[in-house]
A = this chain, B = another copy of it.
Amino acid sequence: MKKGVLRCGHVQIRVLDMAEALEHYRDRLGLIEMNTDDQGRVYLKGWTECDKYSVILREADEAGMDFMGFKVDSDEHLDALKQDLIDFGCEVDELPAGDLADCGRRMSFVAGTGHRFELYADKEQTGRWGVGHHNPEAWPENLKGMKATRLDHCLLYGEDLESTFKLFTEVLGFWLTEQAMDGDMRIAQFFTCSMKEHEIAFIKSEGNTGAFHHASFYLESWQDVLHAADIISMHDISLDIGPTRHGLTHGATIYFFDPSGNRNETFCGGDYFFPDHPVTTWDAAQLGKAVFYHSRELNDRFLSVTT
């Protein structure tokens, strides 16, 4: 948190059919349905999250990610970051409070990779769902499905990793935690502003602009990853890969698709970060192992994205 950015705070995902999507995100992933706005967007959260929501579903004709939002710790930092973005050359749209339900004003901009991001400092807080903050029990009973605890990060595909690197490290104050290098070219870059190994990550992909690889949700344990995989099978959800482990970050993971074709990840564990930690580097020649630590090879589907 070098410049006041706290974390990956929300992601707006386009889904082809809201009823199917809700069944997936609420009943299978186990997110809590919190709200619907007058545009029909549905707001959900993982039970450990204190803010009111972290996932916004919007029904549309095409799957993909509309934008990803980062929460900032103060209005002062928000204004300063707006100016820094402008100075960096970004066009910043300031969206008014309430445009997104229960959320303050947002600074929206597009990165070199073609992805739209936004910053905001205020969102209604409803506290940890089902347990609260006064003599809180360990966890709420009656969680559904995979019992996802929180939105954790997103992985995105694009071409221009170079300017996006500058954007995240110099303008937004993130740290580079891990990277994959093909000679001098950075082909994967993982950024954080917290102790998490990544709040956002990018993989170089020629010809892709604004491509969405996955939104990731954190689980309590490796047993929960197994149970997530079981639920995927019980409900004929399309599996990408897993359970397995990543080399990058070492998280234990499973990839699968929502009914619209957006990829989700649920995972547990993995490395942690402090700002004085050295960057972890994987060689391009080891990219298979870096991504899928056990099979040590990329599957064909790893290249598929929604946009």
| Range of interface residues on A (Cβ < 8 Å) | 35 or more
| CB–CB A230/B293 < 8 A | yes
CA distance A145 to B196 in the complex (A): 27
Whether a CB of chain B sits under 8 angstroms from the CB of A165 is: no
| Chain B residues within an 8 Å CB radius of A252 | 226
8 Å CB contact of A233 from B48, B277, B296: B296
**Max count, chain B CB within 10 A of own CB: residue among A135, A279, A286:** A135
Whether a CB of chain B sits under 8 angstroms from the CB of A221 is: yes
Whether a CB of chain B sits under 8 angstroms from the CB of A105 is: no
CA distance A269 to B293 in the complex (A): 23
| CB–CB A244/B243 < 8 A | yes
CA distance A194 to B234 in the complex (A): 29
Chain copies in complex: 4
Query: Closest Cβ of chain B: how far from A37's Cβ, in Å?
Result: 22
| Chain B residues within an 8 Å CB radius of A7 | 274
8 Å CB contact of A277 from B50, B139, B195, B221: B50
Whether a CB of chain B sits under 8 angstroms from the CB of A127 is: yes
| Chain B residues within an 8 Å CB radius of A194 | 195, 274
| CB–CB B245/A280 < 8 A | no
Whether a CB of chain B sits under 8 angstroms from the CB of A190 is: no
User: Lowest 10 A-B CB distances belong to which pairs?
Assistant: A195-B195, A133-B280, A138-B230, A229-B294, A223-B223, A133-B278, A50-B277, A137-B234, A243-B243, A138-B250
| CB–CB B220/A221 < 8 A | no
What are the interface flags for A266-277 relative to B under an 8 Å C-beta threshold, 1 for contact and 0 otherwise?
000101101111
Whether a CB of chain B sits under 8 angstroms from the CB of A198 is: no
| Chain B residues within an 8 Å CB radius of A276 | 6, 50-51, 71, 73, 125
